[in-house]
Structure 1
Amino acid sequence: MTDRGALLRLVRTGRAILLLPFLGIMIVFALEQFGHAHRFTFEPALTVGPALAAVVSNSVWFPLAIGAAALGEAFGFAAWEGTLAKAVHGASILAIVLISLIGAASVLLRNRQERELADARLVSEVAQRILLRSIPERIGVVRAAVHYAAAAAHARIGGDLYEVVQTRFGVRAVIGDVRGKGLAAVETAAAILGAFREAAHQEQALDRVAGWLADSLGRALREHESEGPQGMDEEFVTLALVGVRADGIVEIVNCGHPSPLLLREGAPIRFLDPAYTVPPLGVLEPEEVRPPVLSLRLESGDRLLLYTDGVIEARNAWGAFYPLAERAPDCAVGESPAEVLDRIHADVRRHVGHNLGDDAAMLLLQYAPAPAPTPATLTALVHPRDADPLSRD
């Protein structure tokens, strides 16, 4: 392979950055030619080689190798200029050796930190799979999709929660937002999700599911209170519960959460507000949690958009909130639920101009019952041989 071909290969593989230390040494060499003519030296600048090597490579030996090359060039400069016995040469040699050793040590520490970060990300992925499980594209009579972005750097889970399950009472979903961030918020979200996955199958009335969650949250907050100074009255969870029956009847229970949006083709957007507002879970005693149940009938293709305040409270550089109600109407038809949420999230990012400062979750449920079987299909199911003339003897 030619030298040009080798260089192109480095560029294509993204390893051309490894040439920077060599480029730095070559620049110092060229400056030294200029300095020799004017009776001063650039020999101390050779430390740029091992310093750059520590930045661009994860190999411990690379700064040492570049440092060795820089030492060779330094001795060459000193022999050419007759400065082997001068203090500037000794200082340059010492500086190159120290920078090379420090560069190798920094690479070693950076590699260790990257391994620890990779382990932490692996634990985060496992926790996400346990707490925030993936949602299938279809659950019963519902097509579903979710989009979640955690605010914490390098985190994949946070204080927002969601779940969709198929029960004997229909498809049930929850979306919520735990006050605060960090590990405490994740623990509270885990308590809520665990309670929902049990209560959704046991309780027929959706408001009683909310009471079950409030009771579980109360126990979790009491445990937190016994472990630290933060009191029960300082933590709460906003959430919305949705139940979709096979006949298209949807029930919604809202506990201090942003109201879901009803997206219907050819109709204006509609906020599904409760008859009266109730505070988030954790504010009232569990036995006092009796939220109203909003009930309505869905048409085939109707979509329910549930979201957390991290979406609608996302601000741009001028302090304006993201106008979800203005951007959502065109999501009533067309793309699949997953594509809709991806597009909304990208739009929120454009509105803010950077990563979101709060956890943000969106859940989209589309009522899509299976088409009723035709008489020919029923005949084929009951008398398969009669339905297919080719199958007769």
Structure 2
Amino acid sequence: MSATGWIKDRLAGPSPGAVPGTVTGTWPKTSMALPFIGMLLVLALDWFSATSLTVEPALTAVPALAAVVSRRTWYPLAVGLATEAVAFLLAWYNGVLGQSVHTATVLAIALVAAIGWVSATLRVRQEQALADAQLVAEVARRVLLRSVPDRLGCVRAAVHYAAAAAHASIGGDLYEVVNTRHGVRAVVGDVRGKGLAAVETAAAVLGAFREAAHQEPELDRVAGWLAVSLDRVLHEGEHPGVEEEFVTLVLIGVRPDGSVEIVNCGHPAPLLLSPGAPARALELPETVPPLGVLDPADVRPPVQRLTVAPGDRILLYTDGVIEARDHRGAFYPLAERLPYCAVGSPAEVLRRLHEDVVRHVGHKLGDDAAMLLLHHEPVQLPHQTTTELVPTA
């Protein structure tokens, strides 16, 4: 098995839908009968025609249709040969074998069949190149944006990510959740801009967070660590747009006792949803600029502390969600819609939210959108039973 095939097998999951590394949207196999249906229509038109004019030139469209409906490069040539046979049959039936109209039709069919073969060959190569690019993008996404387990310590978690770039699986948004000795820690951020530069910046921030979250006991110092790493990456080598590059992000830590710490650097405020209550934005009284704006030594964001109860949910998201507009230009009301979508597991909640945003917009989102939901659900330890030891005589 080739390396590409091995990767495709590993990426192929049990869930329905397109498998990374394949091209979707092709014609069904039954469409390969369309060229022959076209031949029959031309024959019927010629048979029932009340005039002496031949409709043989209409056969030139048959091999062109074959090149459209099939990805097999040999199919336009095979249909072209069959069409030539039908053209000779019509010319014999109409008595125009020696006339210029028949000669021109035969040459046109051969030319269209050859062009169809070239077109099908080029299309197959382009589709394969696109499939390879999608496969690489999916591999990069799974390496950079790792899947989130359903259970991490005292929380259940789920993530939903949608990249705005066509045929891409990754953009400038980032997320990560880790279980550390300091509790469960998560980050959601948004890199200014798109393209490879944004992906490079996101990778640097995520790499630094995965290390700092375990090492730093204080959440504000984790933000300082990220600021130092981001500054180093932006100023090492040739990074485009270094003077305008910044990252908005929010850090959160959840401990088993329900104590929560939040650090926000220029990012939309998380939403807290308690059972039976409206969603509440966890706004900080002090506005902190995004990372990359200040010198790393000046990054000292305040820490917001609160306590959540079992069953409370905290939603972290990027501006691609709240800045989604409908046809009238109205933004998506996330805080209002969240309670109506918060039914079921965290993954189901995010799926309903994404579908609701898409319905609000009416089409695919035009910006990267990431959502991370943390559901505080401490693990219930079984009650320990003690056995009284009775001394034996």
Q: Same fold (TM over 0.5)?
A: yes
Instruction: Give the match for residue 361 of structure 1.
Output: 370
Q: Deviations over 1:11-57 (max 9, x none)?
A: xx94221110111111111122244x312121111012111111111
5 Å matches for 1:27-66? Answer: 27-35=41-49, 37-66=50-79
5 Å matches for 1:306-317? Answer: 306-317=316-327
Instruction: Give the match for residue 390 of structure 1.
Output: none
Moved beyond 4 Å, runs of 4+: 382-386
Distance 1:346 1:236 in 2: 30
5 Å matches for 1:104-115? Answer: 104-115=117-128
Distance 2:276 2:72 in 1: 61
* Aligned with 1:342 (options 351, 358, 383): 351
5 Å matches for 1:293-308? Answer: 293-308=303-318
5 Å matches for 1:119-138? Answer: 119-138=132-151
Q: Deviations over 1:282-301 (max 9, x none)?
A: 11111111111100011011
* Aligned with 1:321 (options 312, 323, 331): 331
SS for the counterpart of 2:220 is helix
* Aligned with 1:85 (options 98, 101, 118): 98
* Aligned with 2:177 (options 146, 159, 164): 164
Instruction: Indicate conservation of the 8 Å contact 1:233/1:283, yes or no.
Output: no
Instruction: Give the match for residue 35 of structure 2.
Output: 21
Distance 1:80 1:156 in 2: 58
Distance 2:349 2:370 in 1: 13
Instruction: Indicate conservation of the 8 Å contact 2:341/2:352, yes or no.
Output: no
Does residue 150 of structure 1 match 2:163? yes
Distance 1:176 1:53 in 2: 48
Instruction: Give the match for residue 296 of structure 2.
Output: 286
SS for the counterpart of 1:201 is helix
> In the superposition, relative to structure 1, how do residues 105 and 241 fare at CA in structure 2: closer, same or farther (>3 Å)?
same
SS for the counterpart of 2:64 is helix
Instruction: Give 1:255 shift.
Output: 0.5
Instruction: Give the match for residue 18 of structure 2.
Output: none
Structure 1, 161-170 or 85-94: larger mean CA deviation: 85-94
Instruction: Indicate conservation of the 8 Å contact 1:263/1:331, yes or no.
Output: no
Distance 2:361 2:264 in 1: 28
Q: With the length of structure 2 as denominator, give the TM-score of the two structures.
A: 0.89
- Residue identity over aligned pairs, in percent, reads 65
Distance 1:385 1:108 in 2: 82
> In the superposition, relative to structure 1, how do residues 135 and 385 fare at CA in structure 2: closer, same or farther (>3 Å)?
farther
Q: Deviations over 1:148-185 (max 9, x none)?
A: 00001111111110000011100000000111111111
Distance 1:106 1:370 in 2: 60
Q: Which runs of 5+ in 2 are unaligned?
A: 1-26
Supply the RMSD in Å over aligned alpha carbons: 1.8
Q: Which amino acid aligns with 1:268?
A: P
SS for the counterpart of 1:250 is strand
Distance 2:92 2:86 in 1: 10
Q: How many residues align?
A: 364
Higher share of residues assigned helix: 1
Instruction: Give the match for residue 287 of structure 2.
Output: 277
* Aligned with 2:222 (options 177, 194, 209): 209
Does residue 69 of structure 1 match 2:82? yes
Does residue 352 of structure 1 match 2:365? no
Q: Which amino acid aligns with 1:16?
A: T
Q: Which amino acid aligns with 1:289?
A: V
Q: Deviations over 1:121-142 (max 9, x none)?
A: 2211211111000110000001
Q: Which amino acid aligns with 1:227?
A: E
SS for the counterpart of 1:101 is helix
Does residue 227 of structure 1 match 2:238? yes
Instruction: Give 1:233 shift.
Output: 2.4
Distance 1:362 1:384 in 2: 51
SS for the counterpart of 1:227 is coil
Q: Which amino acid aligns with 1:154?
A: H
